[in-house]
Amino acid sequence: EINECLTFKYIVVFVEDSNYSVELDFMEGIGVVEIAISQNGSVIYSSSENILSPLRKYLQLPFGVSGEYCIEIKGDNGAYAYGCFEL
């Protein structure tokens, strides 16, 4: 069951509350991106990815977490996406 879905121009973010996961669907290659997930201003996940072609990426959050989280995706080309979700 999908809890929330955030849609940006080239990225769709699905949040699955039953298994505490975040799915990122990159619809096309967009180059290097920085991905960060934070809660209350503290970063709980971060990575740098080079998205060369369409890609589905799964991020696993710790089981049992709850509250509001924010995801931020920054591209080397100046692209920026930001959204919040609840678990």
Torsion of CA 76, 40, 57, 19, to 10 degrees: 180
Query: Structure pTM?
Result: 0.84
pLDDT in tens, 19-29: 899 999 998 88
pLDDT in tens, 46-77: 999 999 999 999 999 888 888 999 999 998 87
List, in sequence order, every residue forming a beta bridge with 58; answer none if it has no partner. 23
Instruction: Say how far apart CA 69 and CA 87 lie, in whole Å.
Output: 8
Q: Which residue has the higher pLDDT, 70 or 10?
A: 70
C-beta separation of 34 from 73 below 8 A: yes
Q: What is the DSSP letter of 62?
A: P
Instruction: Say how far apart CA 62 and CA 73 lie, in whole Å.
Output: 20
